[in-house]
Structure 1
Amino acid sequence: MLKETVSMFTRDGVRLDADVYRPDAEGSFPVLLMRQPYGRSIASTVVYAHPTWYAQQGYIVVIQDVRGRGTSKGEFKLFAHEIADGFDTVNWASQLPGSNGNVGMYGFSYQGMTQLYAAVEKPPALKAICPAMIGYDLYHDWAYEGGAFCLQANLGWAIQLATETARLKNDEQAFQALYSASRNLPLFDTIPACPEVIKKYAPDSFYHEWLDHDQPDEYWEKLSPKTYLKTIDLPMLHVGGWFDTFLRGTVNLYKEMASRSNFLQYLLIGPWAHLPWGRKVGSIDYGLAASNPIDELQIRWFERFLKDIDNGITNEPSVSLFEMGSNQWKGFDSWPNNSKTSYFLQSNGLASMREDGGKLTQSPIPNLVGQASCLSSPVTDTFIHDPWRPVPALGGHAVFPAGAFERSQIDCRTDVLTYTSAPLTEDLLIVGDVFVEIYCNADKPTFDLCAVLSEIKNNGNVYNFTQGYLRVKPNQSTQPLTIQLQPTCIKIAAGNGLRLSLSAACFPAYPVNPGTSSLPKETQLIEAEIITISVQSGVNFPSKISV
Structure 2
Amino acid sequence: MSLVVQRVNAEPVPPDARQHMVRMRDGVRLATDVYDIGGGEPAPTVLARLPYDKNSRYVFFDKIAERFTAQGYVVVVQDVRGKFRSQGRTLGWTGEVDDAYDTLEWITHQPWSDGSVGMFGDSYYGFTQWSAVSSQHPALRAIVPRVTCTTNAPGIAAYDPGSGRQPVWLEGATYQAQVWTDRESYEFDVDLTRRPVLAAYEEAFDAIGQRSAGFDLIVGDIRLDPYNGPHPYDARPVPVLHCVGWFDNLGIAHMRDYTELARRPGWSAVQYLIADTTDHENYALEDAPVSRESDHFADDAALARMLDSYTAPAIAFFDVFLKGTAQPHTLPRVRWKLGHAGWRDSDAWPPPEATTAELYLAQPAATPGAVPGGTLVPSPADAAEEVEWRYDPENLVPSAAPVTFLQLRDHVDERSTLDRDDVLVFTTPASERPLDLAGPVHAVLHVESTAPTYDVFVRLLDLAPDGAARLIVRGCAQSDAAGELEIALGHTGYRVRPGHRLALMIAGSDFPNHLPNSGSLESPWHTTTPKASLQKLRTGSAHPSRLRLTVLSPARTSCTGEGSEPA
Partner of 1:112, secondary structure, is helix
2:134 equivalent in structure 1? 120
TM-score, normalised to structure 2, is 0.83
2:423 & 2:227 partners in 1: Cα distance? 37
Identity across matched positions, percent: 23
CA contact (8 A) 1:211 1:520 kept: no
Matched ranges for 1:433-512 at <5 A: 433-473=440-480, 476-477=481-482, 479-512=483-516
Which of the numbers 155, 159, 167 marks the counterpart of 2:173?
155
1:45 & 1:15 partners in 2: Cα distance? 22
2:184 & 2:310 partners in 1: Cα distance? 33
Partner of 1:257, secondary structure, is helix
Inter-CA distance 41–356: structure 2 relative to 1 (3 Å threshold): closer
Give the Å deviation of 1:300.
Answer: 1.0
The aligned amino acid for 1:294 is Y
Which of the numbers 262, 266, 271 marks the counterpart of 1:261?
266
1:322 equivalent in structure 2? 337
The aligned amino acid for 1:542 is P
Q: 1:420 and 2:427 equivalent?
A: yes
Give the Å deviation of 1:188.
Answer: 2.5
CA contact (8 A) 2:182 2:212 kept: no
Matched ranges for 1:270-419 at <5 A: 270-278=276-284, 283=289, 293-310=309-326, 312-326=327-341, 328-336=342-350, 338-347=354-363, 349-365=365-381, 375=382, 377-395=383-401, 398=404, 400-401=406-407, 404-419=411-426
Q: 1:211 and 2:219 equivalent?
A: yes
Partner of 1:429, secondary structure, is strand
Per-residue CA deviations over 1:336-385 (Å, capped at 9, x if unaligned) read 074311111111613103424411111213xxxxxxxxx3x322222222
Give the Å deviation of 1:96.
Answer: 1.3
The aligned amino acid for 2:165 is G
CA contact (8 A) 1:423 1:495 kept: yes
Unaligned runs of 5+ in 1: 168-177, 366-374
CA contact (8 A) 2:91 2:180 kept: no
2:546 equivalent in structure 1? 544
Which of the numbers 62, 84, 94 marks the counterpart of 1:80?
94
Q: 1:165 and 2:183 equivalent?
A: yes
User: 248-257 or 103-112, which moves further after superposition?
Assistant: 248-257
Give the Å deviation of 1:189.
Answer: 3.0
Partner of 2:231, secondary structure, is helix
CA contact (8 A) 2:123 2:147 kept: yes
2:474 & 2:242 partners in 1: Cα distance? 22
1:5 equivalent in structure 2? 19
CA contact (8 A) 1:450 1:504 kept: yes
User: 295-304 or 116-125, which moves further after superposition?
Assistant: 116-125
Give the Å deviation of 1:232.
Answer: 2.3
Inter-CA distance 224–495: structure 2 relative to 1 (3 Å threshold): farther
CA contact (8 A) 1:143 1:154 kept: no
1:61 equivalent in structure 2? 75
Partner of 1:141, secondary structure, is coil
Per-residue CA deviations over 1:462-515 (Å, capped at 9, x if unaligned) read 211111111112xx23x3211111211111122211111111111111111121
2:124 & 2:403 partners in 1: Cα distance? 18
Number of residue-to-residue matches in the alignment: 511
Unaligned runs of 5+ in 2: 1-14, 295-301, 550-567
The aligned amino acid for 1:192 is V
Inter-CA distance 196–414: structure 2 relative to 1 (3 Å threshold): same
Which of the numbers 73, 98, 108 marks the counterpart of 2:112?
98
CA contact (8 A) 1:115 1:131 kept: yes
CA contact (8 A) 1:43 1:50 kept: no
User: 32-41 or 511-520, which moves further after superposition?
Assistant: 511-520
Give the Å deviation of 1:22.
Answer: 1.0
Give the Å deviation of 1:229.
Answer: 3.6
CA contact (8 A) 1:273 1:397 kept: no
2:531 equivalent in structure 1? 529
Per-residue CA deviations over 1:250-288 (Å, capped at 9, x if unaligned) read 212222322223552111121111113445565379x99
Give the Å deviation of 1:444.
Answer: 1.4
2:249 & 2:66 partners in 1: Cα distance? 29
Give the Å deviation of 1:434.
Answer: 0.6
Inter-CA distance 451–204: structure 2 relative to 1 (3 Å threshold): closer
User: 94-103 or 36-45, which moves further after superposition?
Assistant: 36-45
1:207 & 1:52 partners in 2: Cα distance? 36
Give the Å deviation of 1:59.
Answer: 1.3
CA contact (8 A) 2:84 2:183 kept: no
Give the Å deviation of 1:2.
Answer: 4.7
The aligned amino acid for 1:141 is A
CA contact (8 A) 1:396 1:402 kept: no
CA contact (8 A) 1:143 1:150 kept: no
Per-residue CA deviations over 1:20-68 (Å, capped at 9, x if unaligned) read 1111434221111111112221386359943132112111111111122
1:399 & 1:18 partners in 2: Cα distance? 27
Give the Å deviation of 1:400.
Answer: 5.0
Q: What's the RMSD between the two structures over aligned residues?
A: 2.8
Give the Å deviation of 1:198.
Answer: 4.8
Inter-CA distance 74–357: structure 2 relative to 1 (3 Å threshold): closer
Inter-CA distance 424–226: structure 2 relative to 1 (3 Å threshold): farther
